[in-house]
Amino acid sequence: MDDHDDFLPLFPLNTVLFPYMYLPMHIFEDRYKLMINNCLHGNRGFGVLLVDDSDDGRGMRPYDIGTVGRITDLNRLSDGRFNLILQGVRRFRVLEYDTSQPYLSGRVEMLEDEPELAAPALVSAVSRMFGDYLNTLLNITGQDTRNIPLPDDAEVLSYLVADGLQIEWGEKQALLELISAQQRLDVEATILHKEVVLLKRLKTIPTRLLDHERDAFSLN
């Protein structure tokens, strides 16, 4: 895949893909099977965009900022469907949409983080808070807590935290659209503080009321 391409196949989804993170996908619609085949033949990736389903009268449409993904693993099924793993590579902004093919495409510009050095104290604090957050989730869902290794790199950590937070998709999209690791970590620190407080309060709720959470969260 050429990261400098300015024209991308686009896949609107009800999820946010972040750089460095992985997304398992099951491809079954004919238009997206065609898209994947074209990407494989051209040795290129495709863009993932969150679908904006806000009730503003304009119907469902994708956000303009998403992430280019590259296929890291693929299993082609006998009926033409695909199971694949996509890894986020780089953020982009759609400049112009193209609907001339069965699947959505667009002219895009690639986005780089601003070279704003994240404060080491902030990186350390967010890493500690996120580890506490994950172990609190494990605890309230009846799983064993553990020492979870986290990256030292500010950019990678900021995307890992954004990916792991159990928050609304619109909030995740807002994190994706921030322009530096420092900004993302600042916002994530605030979110983590609030979320950990709320989660620890959940420990007092009878276990039977948390059964649905046990099924919804796992680090495995």
Structural domain spans, the chain: 7-111, 120-216
With a cut of 90, say whether residue 121 has pLDDT above it: yes
User: Mean of the per-residue pLDDT values for the chain?
Assistant: 89
With a cut of 90, say whether residue 117 has pLDDT above it: no
Q: pLDDT tens digits for 46-90?
A: 999 999 876 554 557 899 999 999 999 999 999 999 999 999 999
Average pLDDT of the residues in 203-216: 54
Distance (Å, whole) CA 74 – CA 83 = 6
Residue 74 burial by Cβ neighbours in a 10 Å radius (0-12, 13-18, 19+): middle
Distance (Å, whole) CA 128 – CA 124 = 6
Whole-Å CA distances, 46 to 52, 101, 106: 19, 14, 10
> What pLDDT does 138 receive?
87
Q: Can you say how many angstroms the Cα of residue 104 is from the centroid of all Cα atoms in its chain?
A: 20
Q: Name which residue leads in pLDDT, 117 or 78.
A: 78
Average pLDDT of the residues in 84-103: 97
> Which of 78-87, 117-126, 136-145 shows the lowest mean pLDDT across its residues?
136-145
> What pLDDT does 1 receive?
42
Counted residue by residue, the chain has a size of 220
**Maximum CA extent, the chain:** 55
9 - beta bridge partners? 105
> What pLDDT does 215 receive?
54
Amino acid letter, 132: D
Q: What is the residue-wise DSSP string for 48-117?
A: EEEEE--SSSS--EE-SEEEEEEEEEEEE-TTS-EEEEEEEEEEEEEEEEE-SSSS-EEEEEEE-----P
> What pLDDT does 2 receive?
45
CATH classification for the domain delimited by 7-111, as one of 3.10.20.30, 3.40.50.410, 2.60.40.10, 2.30.130.40: 2.30.130.40
Q: pLDDT tens digits for 161-184?
A: 999 999 999 999 999 999 999 999
> What pLDDT does 55 receive?
58
Q: What stretches of 99-197 adopt beta strand conformation (E)? A: 105-111
Q: pLDDT tens digits for 1-51?
A: 444 458 999 999 999 999 999 999 999 999 999 999 999 999 999 999 999
Distance (Å, whole) CA 136 – CA 143 = 10
Whole-Å CA distances, 51 to 4, 80, 104, 141, 156: 24, 25, 13, 29, 24
The structure's pTM equals 0.86
Handedness of CA 172, 153, 183, 139 (dihedral sign): positive
Q: Can you say how many angstroms the Cα of residue 209 is from the centroid of all Cα atoms in its chain?
A: 28
